C-alpha cells in the first residue's frame, strides 16, 4: 500500500506554547507519490523491519542510521509499535516491508505517514481503540493525525486540529535536494515568543476568495497569501533553494513553495506536458537534485 507524502500550502508559525510546542497553521495536501509499505503478522509480539532504501546522498545515510541495518530502536515505526502496546499489550507482532522514497529532512512527512499506516494496520479492526489511538498519534509525530485521515486538511494547533477542505485536483513538480534541513534549528531561527494563553485565539489562512481559488484550481491566486515562514531561514542557509523556487516560476509554474521546514520545493503546473517540460529543464540545470511529478 502507498504511504503518501504531503506538501504544505502555506505554513505559519504563530507562537511558542508553554509546553514547548509551536502553534501552526497550514493546509496539508496528500500526494499520489510516497513510500510503499506492507504488513505481515509474525506472531512474535515485536516489530521487525525489512527495508529497501531508494534514497540518495545524505538522505540515504540518514535513513540507514534508523533502518534495520542501523539502530532500529530510533525508527518511528519501532517507537509507534511500542506506544501501541500501551493501548493493546497483546499485539501479535508484525513484519514491515518498506520501500523508502520519502526523504528525511524534506518536509514531506515521511516518518509520520509510515507511523499512521502502522497504526491503521494495528487498530483498524478494533474500532473501540480508535479514539485512544488518535489521542496518542500526535505524541508520535505532529503530522501523524493528518495521515490517519483520508483527505486534504486545514491544519492548526500543533497539527492535531484538522478540518477537511474542498480542493480541485492538481499536478506538480517536486524537487528533492541532496541535503536536509534540521527541524529544531529551523524553529529556533523563528524566535517566536512564548504565549501563555495558547489555544484561545482563532486563526485562519483562508478567506472566501482563497477557498474559492482552491476549489477552482486557480493556483496563481495562492501567491498573494500562502507563505512558508521557514523559507527565510532555509534560503539563507541554502541560497540555491530560493533560486530553484524562482526558476520554477520562470519556467511557468503557477505557484511554488518550500514544504514544511524544508528542504523540498514544489511547483504547480497546468498539465502533464508542461510538467514534463519543466522537469526536463530543472533536471538539466539542477543536476544534484532529484525531480518527480505528482498529482493530488
Identify the DSSP state of 142: T
User: CA distances (Å), 60 to each of 63, 70, 170, 243, 265, in order?
Assistant: 5, 12, 29, 24, 18
Enzyme catalytic residues: 6, 143
Report which of 225, 224, 242 is spatially closest to residue 233, judged by C-alpha positions. Answer: 242
Rounded to the nearest 10 degrees, how much is the dihedral formed by the CA atoms of 108, 63, 158, 205?
-10
Strand partners, 161: 156
284: Cβ–Cβ under 8 A, 6 or more apart, which residues? none
Identify the DSSP state of 169: -
CA distance 29 to 176: 17
Scan for cell 520519502, then name that residue. 102
CA distance 272 to 276: 6
Identify the DSSP state of 224: G
C-alpha cell at 247: 526558476
Amino acid at each position: 500500500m502507498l504511504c503518501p507524502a504531503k506538501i504544505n500550502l502555506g505554513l505559519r508559525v504563530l507562537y511558542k506554547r508553554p509546553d514547548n510546542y509551536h502553534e501552526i497553521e497550514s493546509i496539508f495536501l496528500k500526494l499520489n507519490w510516497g513510500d510503499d509499505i506492507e504488513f505481515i503478522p509474525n506472531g512474535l509480539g515485536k516489530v521487525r523491519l525489512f527495508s529497501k532504501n531508494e534514497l540518495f546522498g545524505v538522505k540515504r545515510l540518514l535513513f540507514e542510521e534508523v533502518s534495520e541495518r542501523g539502530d532500529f530502536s530510533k525508527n518511528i515505526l519501532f517507537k509507534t509499535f511500542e506506544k501501541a502496546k500501551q493501548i493493546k499489550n497483546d499485539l501479535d507482532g508484525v513484519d514491515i516491508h518498506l520501500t523508502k522514497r520519502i526523504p528525511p529532512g524534506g518536509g514531506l512527512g515521511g516518518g509520520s505517514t509510515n507511523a499512521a499506516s502502522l497504526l491503521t494496520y494495528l487498530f483498524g479492526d478494533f474500532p473501540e481503540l480508535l479514539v485512544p489511538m488518535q489521542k496518542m498519534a500526535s505524541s508520535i509525530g505532529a503530522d501523524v493525525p493528518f495521515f490517519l485521515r483520508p483527505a486534504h486538511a486545514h491544519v492548526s494547533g500543533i497539527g492535531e486540529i484538522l478540518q477537511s477542505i474542498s480542493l480541485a485536483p492538481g499536478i506538480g513538480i517536486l524537487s528533492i535536494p541532496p541535503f536536509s534541513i534540521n527541524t529544531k534549528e529551523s524553529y529556533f531561527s523563528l524566535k517566536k515568543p512564548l504565549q501563555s494563553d495558547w489555544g484561545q485565539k482563532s486563526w485562519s489562512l483562508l478567506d472566501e476568495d482563497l477557498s474559492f481559488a482552491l476549489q477552482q484550481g486557480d493556483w496563481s491566486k495562492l501567491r498573494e497569501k500562502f507563505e512558508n515562514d521557514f523559507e527565510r531561514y532555509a534560503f539563507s542557509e541554502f541560497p540555491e533553494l530560493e533560486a530553484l523556487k524562482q526558476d520554477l516560476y520562470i519556467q511557468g509554474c503557477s505557484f511554488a513553495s518550500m514544504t514544511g521546514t524544508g528542504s523540498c520545493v514544489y511547483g504547480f503546473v497546468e498539465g502533464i506536458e508542461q510538467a514534463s517540460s519543466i522537469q526536463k529543464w530543472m533536471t538539466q540545470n539542477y543536476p544534484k537534485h532529484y525531480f518527480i511529478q505528482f498529482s493530488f
